[in-house]
Amino acid sequence: MNRIAVQAGVHGGFEWAWASRACAGERVNGDLARVAVLGDRLHVALIDALGHGVVAHAVARRIDAFLVERDLSNPVAELRAVHHLIVGSVGAAVGLGAFDPATAALSWSAVGNTIARRLGDRPARLVSRDGIVGQFLPDLRGEALALGEQDVIVLHTDGVPSSTDFDSYPQIRVQGAEAIAHTIVHRFGRATDDATVVVLRRAR
């Protein structure tokens, strides 16, 4: 099993972390996550280039490099920009957004097999539009997901199945973001696919 890469931080009273692992047998990862502080917000990207290996990795890295210093407060506009960037490539599933600590809310828009979930007393799931960034871009829409006192926001690629039942992981309600991200990839990630998770929660 490939090594799980993890990065974590704290901003504005909130913890964030991402964890990512390439599928078995691959030396590079076609999934990438980006969390960056820009202004007073956390800007978040979740990228899953189609396929595995060096071709998928190159597409994911191209998107990631493009997003450096981009303002993701308007994720719909930024998804369109990413689409035009990689037209003609294998394409990717991409989710983009910005988390505002002042309102404890994530603005988000996604295309393809990415999942955005709020776990807690009021569980919720955002809609990722059917399509492939770089090949077919559907009508896009932005959504918002508020983060309550005891909630956890989990964003993940389809390397963690959308049907994953996190009720079998009750520690998710009390652990820190870094431990949660690593555990989800390790415990629920499919060995036959790249797997990436981003976690947001209030600082413990």
pLDDT in tens, 54-87: 999 999 999 999 999 899 999 999 999 999 999 9
Instruction: Output the pTM of the full model.
Output: 0.96
What's the CA gap between 94 and 111, in Å, rounded?
6
Exposure pattern of 28-52 as b/e (b: 16+ CB <10 Å)? bbbbbbbbbeeeebbbbbbbbbbbb
Q: Name the residue among 70, 63, 35 with its Cα closest to residue 155.
A: 35
Return the domain boundaries, the chain. 5-202
Q: What is the pLDDT of residues 146-193, one digit of tens each?
A: 999 999 999 999 999 999 999 899 999 899 999 999 999 999 999 999
CATH of 5-202, one of 1.10.8.590, 3.60.40.10, 3.40.50.720, 1.10.3720.10: 3.60.40.10
pLDDT digits (tens, 9 = 90+) for 108-128: 999 999 999 999 989 999 999
The token duo for 126 is 């955002």
The pLDDT value recorded for residue 2 is 86
Q: Give the model's confidence band at 5: pLDDT under 50 very low, under 70 low, under 90 confident, else very high.
A: very high
Res. 1 pLDDT band, cuts 50 70 90: low
CB 46 within 8 A of CB 195: no
SS3 label, residue 64:
helix
